[in-house]
Structure 1
Amino acid sequence: MISGIFENCIGSEQTQSALQYWAELGYREVQRGHLPAETAHTLYGHASNLTSIRLQNGNSADHGLVRVMVWEQPRNAGLQKSHPFVIGSRWFASLVQDIYAVADAFNDDNANGGDWIVTEPIRGIEFIGQPGTNFYQRFTGVREFFVIGSETRQAFFQRYNYTRPGYGVIDPTSPLGVSEGTHSSIVTADHDTVAFYTDVFGLVPANNTRKRSGYQNSATRQILMLEEGNEFLLSSFSSPKTDVGVLQIYTPLYSTPNKLEFAQPGALGVSLFTYQVEDVQAFRDRVSRSNARSVTPILSNEFNEPSFGLVAPDEMTWIIVGHEA
C-alpha cells in the first residue's frame, strides 16, 4: 500500500545554511547517506556524487519529511524565482501556529538583505469554511501565504475556528511553530493524465476533485500570484491509508512557460517528491505494466532502502521507497 507524500526533496549547494533554515521550521536530521555518481544516474537520472540528509518534523515519520539532496555537480539552478504556475512547478504546504509570526520572519529577513518572494497572508474559504458575517458568526477557514526562495517554494496556512486532527502536527519545539508537510503540489500541462495516480498509484481522489478556479477567487489570486484571466483545474489525492501527505495537481488553462527540466532530480530547489510502499517489487511490477516511462531497476538509495524511479505520463519524476510494514 502506498503512503501519502513521504518526502519533499530539495536540491541544495549550501548544506549548512539549508539545515539552519529547516531547523527554524522544526526539522531535525534523522539520516544521512551517500551515492556515487553511477548509482545516482541510474536511480535519479543525474550523474553526480550525492549526499542526502533526511529531516523529520516532530514525530511525523511517515509523511511530510524533507530530504536535502546535495549534488556535487547539480543538473541546473532549479526553478529559482519562476512563477508558481509554470509547468513542472512543485511546492508543499505546512500548518503554522501563528501565520503572521512566520510571515514576519521572511519579511524581516528581506528588509535586511534576504531574497524572498512573500505574498501577504490572506483569508481563504474556497475549499473549506464560510465567511464571517458578524461578531457571533465568525470566519471559518484558513489564512495562508506563499514563499519562493532560491531553494524552496512553500505555502503556510493557519486554521481559524475548525480543526483537522492529525492533518498537520506542530511540535512544541519548532522555533517558528511550523508542522510537517501536509500536502504537496505539482503543475502539469494535461489534466487528463491525473488518472495515472488513481489507476496505477492507487491514490484516492478527494470528494471535491477536479475543481476549476483561478483569478476570480480573491484569496487564490493573491496567494498564487495570478493575473486576470488565469484559471486552472485542481485535483487532490490522498493515500488509502492516510489523509495526510495529500497530492494536489494543478493544470493552468492558459499559456505558461514549461520549466520541467528545472524541477527534476539533480536540480536545485524543490525538485522531487517520494512515496513509500510496503511491497516495492509488486509496486514496480504494477508501474512497469502502465504507461509510465523510464522505470528504473530497484536499487539501494543513499539510505540503504530499496527504491526505484519513474516518469509519470504528466512528465513528473517520482521515486518510490520500499518500507517494511
Structure 2
Amino acid sequence: MEIPSISGLYELVIAATAESESVLIQYWQQFGFTVGESGTLNAKGANQLYGINSGLRSLRLYNQVTDRSLLRLMIWEKAINEGLGLTPLKAVGSRWGTSLSLDVFNIANHAEDAIAAGLPVYYVPPQRNLINRSESFEPFIQANPCVHEMVLIQPLTRQVLFERHDYTIPNSGIVNQDSHFKGSEFVHVGLIVECEHEKLDFYDQVLGLHRAVNNCESKYDEASRRILELKGPENGEQMLNYYFTAPLPSTTEQPKIRSGNIEVFRFEGSLPNKLSYSRPGCLGVCLYTMKVRHIESYHQRVSSSEATEVTQVYENEFGEKSFSFVAPDGYFWTLLE
C-alpha cells in the first residue's frame, strides 16, 4: 500500500503573549485539548523559519487524534501586530478552525453571556443546515440529518462549531467526552481568498493534496448567508468553494472520510485584505502546517513553483525539519517532517 506523502492539516497555530498563555490553555482544555510537547527557538532560528526576529516558545496540544488536526500555541517575546482580532470570517487572510461539538447550544449560551458582560466577542448564533433531505421527509418518522453551525470569534481564537443530528461520520470529529464542551479535533480549517482560480492549483499540483470539491458555486441558503455574511449573487457577489483533503493510500478499500481538511472560499469582488495580520508573528490564528515525508523533495517542488518567501529547511522549535513559504494565493504555510 502506497503511503501518502502529505498529511492534510497537521496543526492550526495560534500566537499569544506570555500573559495570555495560561488563559488560552485553560480555554482550549474546555474543548478537549491537552498540552503535550514544548520547544523553543532563539530569535535567529525564528527569523530563519518564520521571518520574525523574536524568541519563540511553542506548545503542541492534542484532542483525541494525534496524527493530524492538532493545535500549536506560539508564545512570542515580541509579536508584530494584534492579528485578525474580531475580523468577521469574510475577509482575505481570514483563517479559522471548524470542530464538532455535542453541545453547541451550551457554547452559544456562554457566548451570549460573554457579550452581555462586555467581553470582546464576534458571534453568529447556531444556524441549521439540512443534509440531503428528501422532499418526502416525514417529521417524527424519518431520520432528520442536519447540523447546527455557529461562529465564535475572540481576539485570539476563531472557531466555527457544529453539532450533528441524526447522522455520524466516525473518523471526522472524534469528541472528547470528558471535556466541558464535548469538542473534537479540527474537522477542517478555512481560508478566504480573492485570487484567480488557477492560483489554487498549487495545493493539488504542487503539494499533492486531493481536490475533493473544485470551483463549486456555493449555495446561498439562509444559514450560509448568516455564517459568512453573504450578500448573495443578486448583489453581484459570487462565492466559489474548494475542498482539499490528504491523498488516500492506494487500496481497494472504501475510502474513509477523516478530519484535517482544508476548505477554501474564493470570492469574486472586493473584500478587506488582512493577509498581513494572518502570518507568524501576528497574534491569534496565524498559520497552518502540514506534515510531509521526504521534505527535501517538497522543498524542491515548492521552490520551483509560484510560491514566494521560500525558506531553507531548518529545525523548528520541536526539532523537526521544516520550511516555510507563501502560497500563490498569499497565505503563509509551514511544512514539517
TM range (shorter): over 0.9
Q: Does 1:282 align with 2:297?
A: yes
Offset at residue 82 of structure 1 (A): 1.4
Offset at residue 133 of structure 1 (A): 4.7
- Percent of aligned positions with the same letter in both sequences? 35
Q: Quick check: 2:324–2:335 contact (8 Å CA) kept in 1?
A: yes
Q: Quick check: 2:88–2:122 contact (8 Å CA) kept in 1?
A: no
Please give the root-mean-square deviation of Cα atoms over the aligned residues, in Å: 1.5
Q: Quick check: 2:81–2:277 contact (8 Å CA) kept in 1?
A: yes
Aligned counterpart in structure 2 of residue 5 of structure 1, from 9, 32, 37:
9
Q: Quick check: 1:9–1:68 contact (8 Å CA) kept in 2?
A: yes
Q: Aligned equivalents of 2:133 and 2:121: distance in 1? A: 31
Q: Secondary structure at the match of 2:218?
A: strand
Alignment partner, residue 174 of structure 2: 169
Alignment partner, residue 251 of structure 2: none
Q: Quick check: 1:275–1:321 contact (8 Å CA) kept in 2?
A: yes
Q: Does 1:273 align with 2:278?
A: no
Q: Aligned equivalents of 1:159 and 1:172: distance in 2? A: 15
Q: Does 1:17 align with 2:32?
A: no
Q: Quick check: 1:234–1:251 contact (8 Å CA) kept in 2?
A: yes
Q: Does 1:93 align with 2:98?
A: yes
Q: How far does the alpha carbon of each residue in 1:236-285 deviate from its partner, in whole angstroms, 9 at most, with x for none?
A: 01001474211111112221111110001110111100000121112112
Q: Quick check: 1:9–1:67 contact (8 Å CA) kept in 2?
A: yes
Amino acid at match of 2:279: Q
Q: Aligned equivalents of 1:145 and 1:312: distance in 2? A: 29
Alignment partner, residue 235 of structure 1: 242
Alignment partner, residue 52 of structure 1: 58
Gaps of 5+ in 2: 249-256
Q: Does 1:110 align with 2:125?
A: no
Offset at residue 63 of structure 1 (A): 1.1
Gaps of 5+ in 1: none
Q: Quick check: 2:310–2:325 contact (8 Å CA) kept in 1?
A: yes
Instruction: Map 1:8-157 to 2 at 5 A.
Output: 8-13=12-17, 14-58=20-64, 60-125=65-130, 128-130=131-133, 133-157=138-162
Q: Quick check: 1:49–1:71 contact (8 Å CA) kept in 2?
A: yes
Q: Secondary structure at the match of 1:281?
A: helix
Q: Secondary structure at the match of 1:119?
A: strand
Q: Quick check: 2:124–2:227 contact (8 Å CA) kept in 1?
A: yes
Please report the TM-score for the alignment, with normalisation by the length of structure 1: 0.93
Q: Secondary structure at the match of 1:52?
A: strand
Aligned counterpart in structure 2 of residue 226 of structure 1, from 230, 245, 248:
230
Amino acid at match of 1:83: P
Q: How far does the alpha carbon of each residue in 1:216-240 deviate from its partner, in whole angstroms, 9 at most, with x for none?
A: 3101011122335343111001001
Alignment partner, residue 295 of structure 1: 310
Q: Quick check: 1:263–1:270 contact (8 Å CA) kept in 2?
A: yes
Offset at residue 138 of structure 1 (A): 4.2
Please report the TM-score for the alignment, with normalisation by the length of structure 2: 0.90
Offset at residue 33 of structure 1 (A): 1.0
